[in-house]
Structure 1
């Protein structure tokens, strides 16, 4: 994969950087931790300039984020509410008003997470979906995504540029940080699941049996 990305960016320059980062946003298993330092390094090998690489990557980030934002808009409040009112979801402890509660929280306090999460591995792409579902103001979403993405892209591209031929070291360190974030997220998910089972599923089953 690394060799293919190198050849692709070497041949198509800024367009390749933008395309790869767009795909990375829509399909998170493609690692920006690899593409961005590589793009910074290739400034030494091609006619690209570092600011151009950062701009191209940020453009790809914003377009990719809006694709997932659109997916979130398709998952409307009404559709999600109907889904969580189905019998299987009720057996799992969900309620239709959970959707309204979650969207209400996002409207009140969660919009800033779009900016913050753009600088956090793993969730940096996925945050666009709840933003779309909550119908976050598109101008604000674009601004937060642009700023957060520009920071993330600038750091990794600049580190790759500064490291030169040792850019893979930057990738390794960034992937190490990404792995830590994944473990933290997994731990949070496990704790949340245990809490959900204790607070929602078990009482729900007891109520049905009674």
Structure 2
């Protein structure tokens, strides 16, 4: 049975596009969609992955194939952003930072030092955090994280994240959409947390500068 013939199969939007890709290319299409998700955040992995599991449940490809191709797609996409980070490099970042208000070069030094100490954990767990899934590859490239470490921890983190959603879609079958609202809540929590941290950091930076001027 073709997945596009299923009653609950989406026919339009990004989900419809991803489904058509899987129908045409099988597991390779699922991997390609996930690879593109790294570069185009509007392509949500939280929709593509359960949809891949749903397609596997209908026999379009195997569950193992869904896990293999989506994880390969995650690694290929992450490698592209890692390469971009290596190309940009720390020196270009420093030139850019000098033009950003309230951001100082020592902030980059702290971030670089932190990533050099905790980069492997950041890449591994970052692949399981919405919003940061793709972005974490860039600082790994900027700080010249060894490529073998990047690939190993990216593969491990991506496999865990992908397995959760692909297997959920496989088990839920035509009810695969049930996964999406929970994933969206997680994404909103992450965005709210990051926003709160950024606002707090900006407030501290502004107060510090005002205090220095007053003295």
In the superposition, the TM-score normalised over structure 2's length comes to: 0.86
Supply the distance in 2 between the matched residues of 1:145 and 1:30 (Cα, whole angstroms): 19
- SS of residue paired to 1:150: helix
**Native 8 Å contact 2:54 2:169 kept in 1:** yes
Which blocks of at least 5 consecutive residues in structure 2 are unaligned? Answer: 1-12
Specify whether residues 140 and 35 from structure 1 end up closer, same or farther in structure 2 by C-alpha distance, changes over 3 A only. same
Within the candidate set 188, 191, 204, 1:195 is matched to 204
SS at match of 1:114: helix
2:131 alignment partner, one of 104, 109, 122: 122
Match among 110, 113, 117 for residue 104 of structure 1? 113
Question: Aligned equivalents of 2:162 and 2:150: distance in 1?
Answer: 18
Q: Offset at 1:153? A: 0.4
Partner of 1:148: 157
TM-superposition CA deviations, 1:56-95 (whole Å, max 9, x none):
000000010011111111221222223334xx44xx2433
Give 2:146's aligned residue.
Answer: 137
2:25 to 12, 22, 43: 12
Q: Secondary structure at the match of 1:30?
A: coil
Hey, what's the Cα distance between the residues in 1 that align with 2:88 and 2:108?
Answer: 11
CA distance in 2, matches of 1:4, 1:82: 40
- Runs of 5+ consecutive residues of structure 1 not aligned to the other structure: none
Contact persistence 2:57–2:171 (CA under 8 A): no
Alpha-carbon offset, residue 203 of structure 1: 4.9
Superposition CA RMSD, Å: 1.8
TM-score with structure 1 length normalisation? Answer: 0.88
Structure 1 CA distance for aligned equivalents of residues 52 and 140 of structure 2? 29
SS of 1:120's partner is coil
Q: How many residues align?
A: 202
Deviations 1:132-174 (A, max 9, x none): 1110011000000000000000110000000111000012222
Q: Is the 8 A contact 1:10 1:46 kept in 2?
A: no
